[in-house]
Amino acid sequence: MEFQATSIADFLNGIIEGDPNATVNNISKIEDGKPGTLAFLANPKYNKYIYETDATIVLVNKDFVAEGEIKATLIRVDNAYEAFASLLDLYQQAKGTKSGIENPSYIDASATVGKNIYIGAFSYIGKNVRIGNNVKIYPHVYIGDNVVVKDNTIIYAGVKIYEDCKIGELCILHAGCVIGADGFGFAPTGDGSYKKIPQVGNVILEDQVEIGANTTVDCATMGSTIIHKGVKLDNLIQIAHNCEVGENTVMAALTGLAGSVKVGKNCTFGGQVGVAGHLNIGNNVTLGAMCGVTNNIKDDKVMLGAPAMDISQAAKVVVVYRRLPQLREQVINLEKELAALKEQIGLK
């Protein structure tokens, strides 16, 4: 399928610079641009590629200032990255989607299923499950008893949703993620063994939540583990029992939250962040990669390091850390000088 520059500009409310009749039939990264493809430039680090790319059309921000000749047709938009994402949505829709119920699959007689759905082969839908309209359930999905899945949600292959969990509208659950597994609750006994504490709560995913591949969100011991609207979780993340993650928070891969952590709205967690149990993270908090959080964090903080510390303090620590070899040499030299002085004055 081909798209013309004028059509793309109309869809994005953009301004064309170059050939309005230029056409593309695929997409590419700007550094690997090929004729007939559309690319975008949003990060100034990639500015150099726009002068050498072979992409036919490039989306740029309206404030982009060219410093040389550009072969490609430009379409200026308010936000090139967001505009490119909108085009990818359009491209995905043009590819079409699956529909219908494949066999073999099992749907309990007490389950209710909405209109225009897709259920892939070898899927299991338990008792009293309620599935909304336009839901896509790919093969080998398990949906336990009493689960609710609301409209326009996509559940990819191999996802497991335990009983009583609630999944909102427009959610995306990627392959292999597990929603509602038991929280890690064990009581030590007198003989040194551990007695399992029954986990009788559930998980609630609000609308527009995306869960990455092989990520786990454990059910609450009692009550609910809650992932609020607009949260995006990367692959291989662990959210423990009774946690709560605020609206529009994003977490990168290998992050782990221990039990009963409360995270505020609009937070950003880098990769491999670890948060100890029963802590509160405020709103608009940024945690750099590999942060180790052992204390509560107030709103609007940027934290780095393990243990996590304010970015201003972390910067000072980094300066000292880089100077450690030099400081070590200074200490050794001082020890030698002190030993020489002691020998001069006859001290042992």
List, for residues 20-74, the tens digit of each pLDDT value. Answer: 999 999 999 999 999 999 999 999 999 999 999 999 999 999 999 999 999 999 9
- Closest listed residue to residue 18, CA positions, set 38, 32, 33: 38
Residue 65 CB-density burial (10 A; 0-12 exposed, 13-18 middle, 19+ buried) = exposed
pLDDT of residue 97: 78
Maximum pairwise Cα distance, the chain: 97
Q: pLDDT band for 2, please (50, 70, 90 cuts).
A: confident
Q: Which of these is catalytic: 174, 228, 241, 278? A: 241
Task: Say what percent of the chain tops pLDDT 70.
Answer: 99
pLDDT at 283 > cutoff 70? yes
The CA-atom distances, in angstroms, between 140 and each of 7, 104, 125, 213 are 40, 10, 11, 14
Angle between helical axes of 80-94 and 5-12 (0-180°, round to 10): 110
The region that residue 252 occupies, defined by phi over 0 for left and psi between -120 and 50 for alpha, beta otherwise, is: beta
pLDDT at 15: 97
Do 215 and 177 touch, CB atoms closer than 8 A?
Answer: yes
Q: What CA–CA distance (Å, rounded) separates 326 from 250? A: 39
What per-residue confidence (pLDDT) applies to 346? 80
What average pLDDT does the segment 230-248 reach?
A: 98
CA-CA distance, 179 to 46, in Å (whole number)? 39
Structure confidence at residue 347 (pLDDT): 72
Residue 278 annotated in active site? no
Of the pLDDT bands very low, low, confident and very high (cuts 50, 70, 90), residue 314 is very high
Tens digit of each residue's pLDDT (9 = 90 or more) over 293-310 = 999 999 999 999 999 999
Residues 6+ positions from 155 with CB-CB distance below 8 Å: 135, 136, 137, 138, 141, 143, 149, 161, 167, 173
pLDDT band at 348 (very low <50, low <70, confident <90, very high): low
Range 118-155 burial, b when 16+ CB lie within 10 A, else e: bbbebbbbbeebebbebbbbbebbbbbebbbbbbbbbb
